[in-house]
């Protein structure tokens, strides 16, 4: 599988081998996609900046975001 996932302003390109299994094998019979630690989770990064820091950097952040 080749995928490009857009998170915020940084697209992430992922190339992975996929395995299709019956939902009865998945915990809680979840339907959807589970990203494995070897091919996705260890390549994702998350950054969070508090609003007051963004405001000091002259970023105009709307209320509620």
Per residue in 9-58, pLDDT (tens digit) is: 778 887 877 788 888 887 777 777 766 655 555 555 667 888 888 888 88
In a domain, 64, yes or no: no
In a domain, 44, yes or no: yes
Q: With b meaning 16 or more CB within 10 Å and e meaning fewer, what string describes 36-63?
A: eeeebeeeeeeeeeeeeeeeeeeeeeee
Number of structural domains, the chain?
1
In a domain, 15, yes or no: yes
Q: How many CB atoms lie within 10 A of CB 30?
A: 9
* Rounded-to-integer distance, Cα 10 and Cα 26, Å: 30
In a domain, 51, yes or no: yes
To the question of pTM greater than 0.85 for the whole model, the response is no
16's CB contacts (< 8 A; 6+ apart) are 1, 3, 36, 39, 40
- Residue span of the structural domain in which 12 resides: 2-56
In a domain, 22, yes or no: yes
The neighbouring-strand residues paired with 3 are: 14
In a domain, 61, yes or no: no
């Amino acid at each position: 599988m080749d995928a490009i996932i857009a998170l915020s302003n940084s697209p992430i390109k992922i190339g992975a081998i996929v395995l299709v299994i019956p939902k009865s094998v998945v915990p809680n019979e979840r339907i959807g996609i589970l990203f494995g630690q070897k091919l996705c989770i260890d390549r994702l990064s998350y950054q969070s900046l508090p609003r007051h820091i963004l405001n000091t950097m002259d970023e105009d952040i709307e209320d509620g975001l």
